[in-house]
Amino acid sequence: MIMSVAATLKMHTPSTLKIRFVSQWHRGTPLQRPRARFLRATLLLPACLVAALTAGCALHMKDGGAAGGGAADGAPKGTASSSANSTANSTTNSAALQATSPAALADAMARQPIVLLGEVHDNAAQHALRAQALQRLVDRGARPAIAFEQIDRDRQGAIDAIRADATADVATRAERIVTEAGAKGWDWALYRPYIVIALQNGLPIVGANLSRAQAMRVATEGYGAVFDAPERAALGLENVPPDIERAQEYEIERGHCGQLPADSLPAMAGAQIARDAVLAQSISPYAARGVVLLTGNGHARRDIGVLRHLAPRDQEHVVAIGLLEDDGKAADHASDFDAIFLTPVQARPDPCGNFHHTPMHPAPGIGTR
145-152, strands of its sheet edge to edge: 96-98, 339-343, 318-325, 114-117, 291-294, 145-152, 205-209
Structural domain includes residue 360? no
E strand or H helix that includes residue 176: helix 170-181
- pLDDT at position 51 is 52
Q: Is residue 185 one of the residues assigned to a domain?
A: yes
d(CA 318, CA 300): 10
| Domain-located, residue 353 | no
Is 355 contained in some domain?
no
Total domains in the chain come to 1
User: Which one-letter amino acid corresponds to residue 195?
Assistant: I
The pLDDT assigned to 46 comes to 52
Contacts of 43 (CB under 8 A, 6+ apart): none
Residues in the chain: 369
Per-position b or e across 262-274, b if 16+ CB within 10 A of its CB: ebbbbbbbbbbbb
- DSSP type of residue 363: P
The answer to whether residue 365 sits within a structural domain is no
Cα angle: 78, vertex 322, 243; to 5 degrees:
25
Report the CATH number that the domain containing residue 121 is assigned in CATH: 3.40.50.11550
pLDDT at position 74 = 45
Query: Given 3-state DSSP classes, what are the helix, strand and coil percentages for the chain, each rounded to the nearest 5?
Result: 45, 10, 45
Q: List Cβ<8 Å contacts ≥24 apart for 8-11.
A: 8/51, 8/52, 8/54, 8/55, 8/59, 8/185, 9/47, 9/48, 9/51, 9/354, 10/354, 11/55
Range of the domain at 204: 5-343
The predicted structure's pLDDT at residue 363? 35
Q: Kindly state whether residue 70 falls inside one of the protein's structural domains.
A: yes
Count CA atoms within 13 Å of residue 286 on its CB side: 25
Q: Is residue 352 part of a domain?
A: no
Spell out the per-residue pLDDT of the chain, length 369, in tens: 433 333 332 333 333 222 222 233 333 333 333 333 333 443 445 555 555 554 444 434 433 333 433 333 445 543 333 333 333 333 334 566 667 899 999 999 999 999 999 999 999 999 999 999 999 999 999 999 999 999 999 999 999 999 999 999 999 999 999 999 877 889 999 999 999 999 999 999 999 999 999 999 999 999 999 999 999 999 999 999 999 999 999 999 998 899 889 999 999 999 999 999 999 999 999 999 999 999 999 999 999 999 999 999 999 999 999 999 999 988 888 899 999 999 999 999 887 877 655 444 433 332 222
Query: What is the pLDDT, as a whole number, of residue 49?
Result: 58
Indicate whether 291 belongs to any domain.
Answer: yes
* Residue 257 burial (CB count, 10 A): 26
* Whole-number Å distance between alpha carbons of 101 and 305: 25
